[in-house]
Amino acid sequence: MPQFETHRPVPHSADQMFDLVADVEHYPQFLPLCEALSIRSRKERDGKVLLIADMTVGYKAIRETFTTQVLLNRAERIIEVKYIDGPFRYLDNRWRFEDTATGSNVHFFIDYEFKSRILGAVMGSMFDRAFRMFSEAFETRATKIYG
């Protein structure tokens, strides 16, 4: 049951970082292991956006696609990702963004477990490293986009 949590200060606003993480269609351009991402559906209600997305991740010859529900809550600057289908027993991912005097703090949390012990043994350590690199990948992307 790997779990990872980090809080990182960045020199960009909470709104900018929210927008960057909410822009899931561009993940394959910069996110470790992410080879493809497609949006199945997008619904707006009460100022929130609900996405159903398929993400394909790969490492060497192994490819897995999983489906998640992504809730974008701009008013609270929170993004919640819930697992629907794929190689995991469960996956829970949350982002929270808070403004600071010099930019913002980005809070990232992920908890997951593979259904298959074999897949967990093969992909687990790679996923763990990739999730640890996620925050850095988003910071690098923010610097590229926002300066």
Q: Looking at residue 124, what is its pLDDT?
A: 65
Task: Read off the pLDDT of residues 38-71 as tens digits, 9 standing for 90 and up.
Answer: 999 999 999 999 999 999 988 778 888 999 999 9
- Measured CA to CA, the distance from residue 49 to residue 42 in angstroms comes to 7
Mean pLDDT of the chain: 91
Q: Looking at residue 1, what is its pLDDT?
A: 59
The residue ranges of the chain whose pLDDT is under 50 are none
Do 16 and 7 touch, CB atoms closer than 8 A?
Answer: no
Q: Looking at residue 120, what is its pLDDT?
A: 76
Sign of the alpha-carbon torsion through 105, 37, 82, 73:
positive
Three-state secondary-structure class, residue 50: strand
Q: Does this model's pTM top 0.85?
A: yes
Q: Looking at residue 99, what is its pLDDT?
A: 98
Q: Which domains can be identified in the chain, with CATH numbers?
A: 3-146 (3.30.530.20)
Q: Looking at residue 61, what is its pLDDT?
A: 82
